[in-house]
Amino acid sequence: MVSAASRSSRGLLLTFSALVLLLAIVSLAIGPVRLSPLVVAQALFGGATEEQRIIVQEIRLPRAILGVAIGAILGLSGAALQGLLRNPLASPSLFGAPQSAAFGAVLVIALGLADVRSFVLPLAGISFAFASVFLLLAVAGRNASLLLLILAGLAISSLAGAMTALAMNLSPNPFAALEIAFWLLGSLEDRSFRHVVLALPFIVAGAVILLSRRHAFRVLSLGEEAAQSLGVNVGALRLAVIAGVALGVGGSVAVSGTIGFIGLIAPHLLRPLVGHDPTRLLLPSALAGAALLLAADIAVRIIPSTTDIKVGVLTSIIGVPFFLYLIVRERRTLGGGLS
């Protein structure tokens, strides 16, 4: 017999999968040249005119794939970190991988080694994301407490942010500094299948690592001591989650720039529907993250504007008030528990 909770979970996954598919089709249809869903389908399978095939297959399809993949890994990483830390305010930026990836990409732009469309850019970002994880483990130690890992991660995040600002400040080319500033805002525009091919293996590897540890999060919700008594290696779980987030988010930031708050918002949107079981929250959060980023990327193309709005700007505008709301809600919850 299939339980009611299992049926509800499957129904939720199917609903969000259908939503992601619908938004992906809309993403392929929306742009300076509007296409109908029928034309999009024809262009995907070799029909339609040559111009329409180029628009759909070479310009919009990589953008839609990256929107799904990056949104999914951000949502999954946010849910995994919230499960690991047992803190609903945790987000993928906590351990410094996104900031370090951004610094790596900015550095090669500032040195004139690449522009924002170069294949070198994601390579540098991913390399620096990995370097941040090794630095984190070197500073905090392999068996460090969670508090030490968080403090070390905040220090690395601050250092990467400061070095990014320094690279922009010392850039000999003012046009490069402007290019860096726009890239840091976060965008999926003008991305090609080269970026998909480079980023996707790291995103998939990070997702596999996080999902492979999904059952440990349920046990960890009982507390670290209880989890250890039930056979969960908490230290190894921490390292796996940090490595998975660094792989996935580092690869994402390296091709898209900084896109914030998806990893924070997605799990919270699903928690009222899924419950507080961190294991059941992972896959729905990934689908919600994909839907959120696709929707934001569609919105920046249809909002009237004299210049292109960056998707990272839109997610931040939405995410900051949501984050403040969560803080106020947590404060009231804690206040109610103490009264």
Average pLDDT value for residue range 212-228: 86
Percentage of residues of the chain with pLDDT beyond 70: 93
pLDDT classification of 225: cutoffs 50, 70, 90 = confident
Residue 38 is predicted with a pLDDT of 92
Who has greater pLDDT, 218 or 21? 21
The yes-or-no verdict on residue 172 having pLDDT over 80 is no
**Residue 269: Cβ-neighbour burial (10 angstroms; 0-12, 13-18, 19+):** middle
Who has greater pLDDT, 30 or 332? 30
pLDDT classification of 143: cutoffs 50, 70, 90 = low
CA–CA separation, 36 and 43 (whole Å): 11
The yes-or-no verdict on residue 210 having pLDDT over 80 is yes
Residue 339 is predicted with a pLDDT of 46
The yes-or-no verdict on residue 118 having pLDDT over 80 is no
Is residue 275 classed as helix, strand or coil in its secondary structure?
coil
DSSP H helices in the chain: 4-29, 37-44, 50-53, 61-85, 97-110, 120-140, 146-169, 174-184, 193-212, 214-220, 224-229, 234-256, 262-274, 278-302, 311-338
Who has greater pLDDT, 155 or 69? 69
Average pLDDT value for residue range 9-32: 92
- Structural domains in the chain, sorted by start: 4-306 (1.10.3470.10)
Residue 63 is predicted with a pLDDT of 95
CA–CA separation, 122 and 54 (whole Å): 24
DSSP letters spanning 221-241: TT-HHHHHHTT--HHHHHHHH
CA–CA separation, 249 and 305 (whole Å): 29
Who has greater pLDDT, 330 or 15? 15
The yes-or-no verdict on residue 336 having pLDDT over 70 is no
pLDDT classification of 338: cutoffs 50, 70, 90 = very low
* pLDDT tens-digit readout, 74-95: 999 999 988 888 877 788 887 7
As a residue count, the chain comes to 339
79 neighbors 233 (Cβ within 8 angstroms) = no
Residue 295 is predicted with a pLDDT of 95
Average pLDDT value for residue range 307-321: 85
Q: Give me 115's structure tokens.
A: 């522009």
The yes-or-no verdict on residue 26 having pLDDT over 90 is yes
Residue 74 is predicted with a pLDDT of 95
The yes-or-no verdict on residue 166 having pLDDT over 70 is yes
The yes-or-no verdict on residue 162 having pLDDT over 50 is yes
Who has greater pLDDT, 158 or 309? 158
CA–CA separation, 100 and 13 (whole Å): 33
- Residues whose CB is less than 8 angstroms from the CB of residue 37 and which lie 6 or more positions away in sequence, other chains included: 25, 29
The yes-or-no verdict on residue 334 having pLDDT over 70 is no
CA 21 to mean position of chain CA atoms: 18
Phi first, then psi: give them for residue 149, nearest 5 degrees: -65, -45
**C-alpha distances in Å from residue 334, one per residue of 115, 326, 337, 338:** 48, 12, 5, 6
Please choose, from the candidates 58, 61, 63, the residue with its C-alpha nearest in 3D space to the C-alpha of residue 293.
63
